[in-house]
A and B are shown apart, each in its own frame.
Chain A
Amino acid sequence: MLASEPMTGRRDAPARPFSRFAQRLVPMASESGLKAAHFRKGGIAAWLLAPQLLILLFFFFIPSWKALSLAFVQVDPFGGTTLFVGLENFTRLLASDSYRASAVFTFWFTIIQNVATLGIAGLLAFATDQVIRGRFVYKSVILLPYAIAPVISGVLWAFLFNPAVGPMAQFLHSLGIPWDPNRRPFDAQVLITVAAVWKHVCYDYIFLVAALLAVPQSLIEAAALDGAGPVRRFFTVSVPIIMPTVFYLVIMNFTYGLFDTFGIIDAVTAGGPGGATNTLVYKVYQDGFVLLDLGSSAAQSVILMAIAIVFTILQFRAVERKVNYQV
């Protein structure tokens, strides 16, 4: 939704965003290239679907039902007493300053993290083509962070930038920057964002390198013959062709920023100082699994689910029509 703004693709995509999916639902209206299998009896289809449906049942429907049912009660963590409280868990959350602050931080954090990750990964992927010597080392160094567990990398970042003992913090101090993530919320937010981006750049990088390799060499050579330099070729030939990958990465980055950064947050700031780096998901975890306020935690996850659904729909509506899937 963001990264695609400057990279507007062709405008001849379907007018209705979900029409491509809608077409698949109508069995006989198959166009060329779209394959549909038909079963005489429904039995086999049901059997083939069963494993996936079972997984969905256990990993999605039952937990969703649990979260929904917990969101409207207050419960003793041991399961002894359950009190129906209606919407109280939600009203308390929405009235809470710290929850609103957490939502605002989460919003900016995921967006900035997304743009920065894609931008840096894009730059590195573009540069990969230009690196001739030591390409293997170059790639290895970039891919390394992905192999490190989030909590371990979080501890490393926390230590390196610790204002009392961290070497990076000393360096910043020597430049005259009063770096202190324990006392300056902005510093903590910067630290979390940098750590999250560092951890995820390699993921985007792999996909972008692969996508760039798939760009037909003939197109690039043709552009080169027409006198386009490497940068121009990248933006006018490669980028439009790799847009589906970029779109996929935008969604993956949002997923990562929203849901997978809590290991890093736990290790680097534990949501502090004063809740400055408390994302919505970290709060769900903190309130539910550490502080055992299950009702509030369930209500938060229901709100998160709603936000995620709205975001996904918005992204598909806003972005998908600008992405060209056909080369």
Chain B
Amino acid sequence: MFRLDLKDRQMGLYFRKTAAALLAGAMGLTSNAAMAQEKVRVEWWHAMSGRLGEIVDQLIADFNASQDEYEVVGINKGSYAETFAAMIAAYRVGQHPTLVQATERSFLTMLYSGAVVPVGELMEAQGYEIDWDDFVTPVADFYIVDETPAALPFNSSTAILWYNADHFRAAGFDGPAQTWQKLDEQLYAIKEQGVSDCSMALAGDFIWSMIEGYSAINDYPYATSANGYGGLDTQYIFNTTQVVGQVERMKKWIDDDVLQIAGQGLSPTQLFTSGDCSTYIASTATHAAVESGAEFDWSATFMPHEEGTAEPLNSNIGGAALWVLQGKSDEEQAGAAAFLDFIAKPQTQAWWSGETGYVPVTNAAYELMLSEGFFEEHPTREIAILQLTRGEPTENSRGFRFGNSDQTFAVMNEELQSVWTGQKTVQQALDASVERGNQILRQYETLHAGK
């Protein structure tokens, strides 16, 4: 009975995914047959839901209306993780889509999967000219490998500091300070003056912003081999840098009820947009939720930096890119290329950025938005792009390329939670994160040796 049940569970999951893939395939067959004479169907699996999903649908409709050879069909597969898992299950049985949206964190996993067609090669083969030099530096630097873009940056973001301007005024401040030390004093002042019970809400992806982003901005090394850009032999070393002090500060804030963990069942964004929490460090893509949900005088500014850091560097990118998968017909690949070309156009980029809050990823799109006066009307929309492009990127700030980075993210999350619960000291938890993270890196290196 036990044995059966265990297997049922696994088969259930497996079958659900396979069934979904088969169903998608079957739908592809029928509509292919119906439209064989007219349009080539290009399937795109993405992770954009809610308001972002509506904007994506609009984008697809615009593309489909702009030409009559191809029809892009967008399918929302849930979260990034769910989309990724669905794509892999489908790939193993040959029922995968032509295009898939994958996060920046899964970059290396996708790059060496042997399952993708590098976007640069595809565009060249299909006769499209894209000015890759025009892409904003940290974005281009991240997605271009050996001078060929592996994927097309689509929805790129970075973390910024959101704040409740009413709360700051009530506490006697013009706005958040630009160093962690001064911000610390402000957050305690807000708490002690009774302006709010929650000075800051902790985002679910704080490791990306408050640890990785923190290391980039302050020019601290995160791992050897230029944070993975130098090769697969990279090793994490963030347990030896100021990250220790950063996590200790966060622990102090949590203990003093300055920093609020939202926990399951509640989105930390809601803690900010409801006016409960005074600050929030999160992606610029939060604009969609804040603009529609916050009924107070909100604003945003750059991420803080350390007091000793004279010139803060660029922050790290987040968001996702579009990948083209192998094993598709020439027509489908041509359709994918046409769609990517459409997305890379400055007009599309500017429209997408304006609608969503993601950064414009090309200089042309950025200039277009500047010339339209978009940022004068929406000043907080410009923070992310300014923060991403400031200074000259160093090895510590250009980005993070780690194999199976999702696994390390989960490990760090677990370890840091044991700091919040008091089961481990900050140093113990970071040492354990590094040790377990390095095991994951070595596992990836063994599996992908010689790539």
Any chain B CB within 8 A of the CB of A274?
Answer: yes
Q: Given A60-B7, A63-B7 in contact, is the A268-B92 Cβ separation under 8 Å?
A: no
Given A79-B92, A83-B447, the answer on whether A162 and B10 have CB atoms closer than 8 Å is no
Contact present for B9 and A305 (CB under 8 Å): no
- Kindly identify which residue among A67, A286, A309 contacts B410, using a CB–CB cutoff of 8 Å: A286
The interface residues of chain A lying within 8 Å CB-to-CB of B410 are 286, 290-291
Q: Is B372 an interface residue (CB 8 A)?
A: no
User: Does B265 contact A158, Cβ atoms closer than 8 Å?
Assistant: yes
Within 8 A of A (CB), among B389-422: 404, 406-407, 410, 413-415, 417-418, 420-422
Q: How far is the CA of A159 from the CA of B267 in the complex (A)?
A: 10
Residues of B within 8 A of A130 (CB): none
**Which one of A176-184, A203-211, A213-221 contacts B?**
A176-184
Check A182–B263 contact: CB distance below 8 A: yes
Nearest residue, chain A, Cβ from B270: A165
Query: Beyond A78-B115, A273-B417, A290-B81, is A267–B10 a contact (Cβ under 8 Å)?
Result: no
In the complex, per-residue mask of B260-304: 1 if CB is within 8 Å of any chain A CB, else 0: 111111100001000010000000000000000000000000000
* Total residues of chain A contacting the partner, CB 8 A: 62
In this assembly, does A164 line the interface, its C-beta being within 8 Å of a C-beta of chain B? yes
Contact mask B1-40 → A, CB, 8 Å, 1/0? 1111111111101100000000000000000000000000
Is B254 in contact with chain A by the CB < 8 A criterion? yes
With a cutoff of 8 Å between Cβ atoms, the chain B residues found around residue A279 in the complex are none
Q: Compute how far the CA of A92 lies from the CA of B407 in the bound complex, rounded to whole angstroms.
A: 15
Chain B residues whose CB sits within 8 angstroms of the CB of A270 once the complex forms: 264
Complex contacts, B422 vs chain A, CB 8 Å:
183
User: Shortest distance in angstroms between B447's beta carbon and chain A's nearest beta carbon?
Assistant: 5
Q: Mark B77-114, 1 if CB is under 8 A from A, else 0.
A: 00001001100100110000000000000000100011
Interfacial chain B residues near A183, Cβ < 8 Å: 254, 261, 420-422
Complex contacts, A185 vs chain B, CB 8 Å: 421, 423
CB closest residue in chain B, given A273:
B417
Closest residue of chain B to A274, judged by CB?
A: B418
Q: How does the 8 Å CB contact mask read for A76-91 relative to B, with 1 for contact and 0 for none?
A: 1111110100000000
Q: How far is the CA of A69 from the CA of B309 in the complex (A)?
A: 52
A251 to B199, CA, bound (A): 49
Q: Which of B5, B14, B198, B421 contacts A276 (CB 8 A)?
A: B421
Q: Are the CB atoms of A272 and B414 closer together than 8 Å?
A: yes
Q: How large is the interface on B (under 10, 10 to 19, 20 to 34, 35 or more residues)?
A: 35 or more
A67 touches B10 (CB 8 A): yes
Contact A76 B271 (CB under 8 A): no
Contact between chains at B423 and A164 (CB < 8 Å) = no
Cα(A273)–Cα(B424), bound, Å? 12
Asked if B417 and A59 make an inter-chain contact with CB atoms under 8 angstroms apart, the answer reads no
B11 adjacent to A59 (CB under 8 Å): yes
B446 close to A83 (CB less than 8 A): yes
- List of A residues within 8 angstroms of B113 by Cβ: 76-78, 80
Residues of B within 8 A of A158 (CB): 263-266
Contacts of A166 in B (CB 8 A): 265
Is A312's CB within 8 Å of the partner chain B?
yes
Distance between A57 CB and nearest chain B CB, rounded to angstroms: 11
Contact A162 B2 (CB under 8 A): no
Distance in angstroms from A272 CB to nearest chain B CB is 5
* A327–B176 CA distance with the chains assembled, in angstroms: 77
Across-interface contacts of A292 in B (CB, < 8 A): 84-85, 88, 404, 406
The smallest C-beta distance from A285 to any residue of chain B, in angstroms, reads 7
Instruction: Find chain A residues with CB under 8 A from B1 CB.
Output: 251, 255, 312
Q: Distance in Å from the Cβ of B229 to the closest Cβ of chain A?
A: 21
- Given A81-B447, A164-B276, the answer on whether A275 and B92 have CB atoms closer than 8 Å is no
CB-based contact B6/A308 at 8 Å: yes
Interface pair B276/A290, CB less than 8 Å apart: no
Cα A181 to Cα B261 with chains together (Å): 10
In the complex with contacts A272-B414, A274-B417, A291-B410, A63-B10 CB distance below 8 A: yes
Contacts of A269 in B (CB 8 A): 264
Of B8, B421, B443, chain A has the most CB atoms within 10 Å of the CB of B421
> What's the Cα separation between A182 and B145 when bound, in Å?
40
A167 to chain B, nearest CB (A): 12
CA gap between A285 and B448 in the complex, in Å: 24
Q: Mark A263-288, 1 if CB is under 8 A from B, else 0.
A: 00001111111111000010011100
- A289 interface hit (Cβ, 8 Å): yes
Is the Cβ of A308 less than 8 Å from the Cβ of B264?
no
Distance between B10 CB and nearest chain A CB, rounded to angstroms: 6
How far does the alpha carbon of A251 sit from the alpha carbon of B2 in the complex, in Å? 9
Interface presence of A245 (CB below 8 A): no
Give bound CA distance, A304 to B448, whole Å.
Answer: 29
A170 lies within 8 A of chain B by Cβ: no
Whether a CB of chain B sits under 8 angstroms from the CB of A163 is: yes
Q: List A contacts of B418 (CB < 8 A).
A: 273-275
Interface centre among B2, B115, B271 (most CB of A within 10 A): B2
Listed from nearest, the 4 A-B pairs whose CB atoms lie closest are A158-B265, A274-B418, A308-B2, A274-B417
Q: List 22 A-B contacts (CB under 8 A).
A: A60-B4, A63-B10, A77-B113, A78-B113, A79-B92, A92-B439, A158-B265, A164-B271, A166-B265, A183-B261, A183-B420, A254-B2, A255-B2, A273-B421, A290-B81, A290-B85, A290-B406, A292-B84, A292-B406, A293-B404, A304-B6, A312-B2
Known: A165-B266, A291-B406. 18 other contacts (CB 8 A): A60-B3, A63-B14, A64-B3, A77-B88, A78-B115, A79-B92, A80-B114, A83-B447, A185-B423, A260-B9, A267-B264, A274-B418, A274-B421, A274-B424, A275-B414, A291-B404, A292-B406, A293-B404
